[in-house]
Structure 1
Amino acid sequence: MSLLLDKRELKKAARELTLAKLNDVLETLQSVLAERQSELDAINEIERLAREKGFTMEQLGYKQVQEVVASTPASVSSDDKKPVKPKFKTLNKDSQYFYVENGKLQLLRTHTMKKGLQDRGIDVVPAAKVDKKFAKDIERLLTEATEQAVANFNQKVAIWNAWAAANGGEILQSR
Structure 2
Amino acid sequence: MVSAKKNLRSSPRIKPLDQTLTSTWDREQLSIKQASTSSIAIAKSLGHDVFPSTVYQARVVNRRKMARKIKETLFENSPPLVLHWDSELLPSVAHGNVNTLEDRVAVLVTDKDFKHLLGVHVAEKGTGQQMVEVVIREVHRFGLSDNIIGKELCIKQGG
Calculate the TM-score normalised by the size of structure 2. Answer: 0.30
Which structure's residues are more often helix, by fraction?
1
Which structure's residues are more often strand, by fraction?
2
Structure ranking higher on relative contact order (CA contacts 8 Å, 6+ apart): 1
* Bigger Rg, structure 1 or 2: 1
Calculate the TM-score normalised by the size of structure 1. Answer: 0.28
